[in-house]
């Protein structure tokens, strides 16, 4: 009788990039639901309550502090979720990139495009 492994060493498992993209897409969806959505609702409520609150919010988001960092990280994760969702929709509906090689290349492209676009977004907002 063969012994079952006592533990699963996650550091030795090599996932393909497409699996990493799929897992992080699900995790980002949970983050959006529990963190980004309440944060955006708060920002909308504050920004529409009065002109002085709107002006204060703009000042807060244009300086580097904990709130603006959390806000921009949340927007980044939301953008990543949108991009990976579009990737999954293209694969499901148009059957483009369904092979292992195509899925890996599209996952790498999405992560590269996400990082580049977010860096450009940050550079535009803080220059």
pLDDT > 70? residue 28: yes
User: Whole domain around residue 99: which residue ranges?
Assistant: 21-126
pLDDT > 90? residue 10: no
8 in any annotated domain:
no
56 in any annotated domain:
yes
Domains held by the chain: number: 1
Segment 42-73, tens digit of pLDDT: 999 999 999 999 999 999 999 999 999 999 99
Longest dimension (CA), the chain: 73
8-state DSSP, 105 = H
9 in any annotated domain:
no
Could you tell me the CATH number of the domain that includes residue 109?
1.20.1300.10
The reported pTM is 0.86
11 in any annotated domain:
no
pLDDT of residue 44: 97
115 in any annotated domain:
yes
13 in any annotated domain:
no
8-state DSSP, 11 = G
Q: How far apart are CA 63 and CA 52, in angstroms?
A: 17
């Amino acid at each position: 009788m063969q012994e079952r492994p006592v533990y699963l060493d996650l550091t030795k498992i090599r996932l393909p990039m497409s699996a990493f993209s799929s897992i992080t897409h699900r995790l980002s969806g949970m983050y959006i639901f529990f963190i980004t959505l309440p944060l955006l609702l708060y920002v909308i409520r504050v920004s529409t309550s009065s002109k002085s609150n709107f002006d204060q919010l703009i000042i807060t988001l244009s300086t580097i502090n904990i709130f603006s960092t959390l806000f921009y990280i949340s927007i980044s994760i939301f953008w990543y979720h949108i991009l990976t969702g579009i990737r999954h929709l293209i694969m499901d509906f148009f059957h483009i990139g369904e092979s292992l090689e195509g899925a890996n290349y599209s996952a790498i492209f999405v992560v590269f495009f996400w990082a580049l676009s977010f860096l450009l977004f940050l550079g535009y907002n803080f220059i």
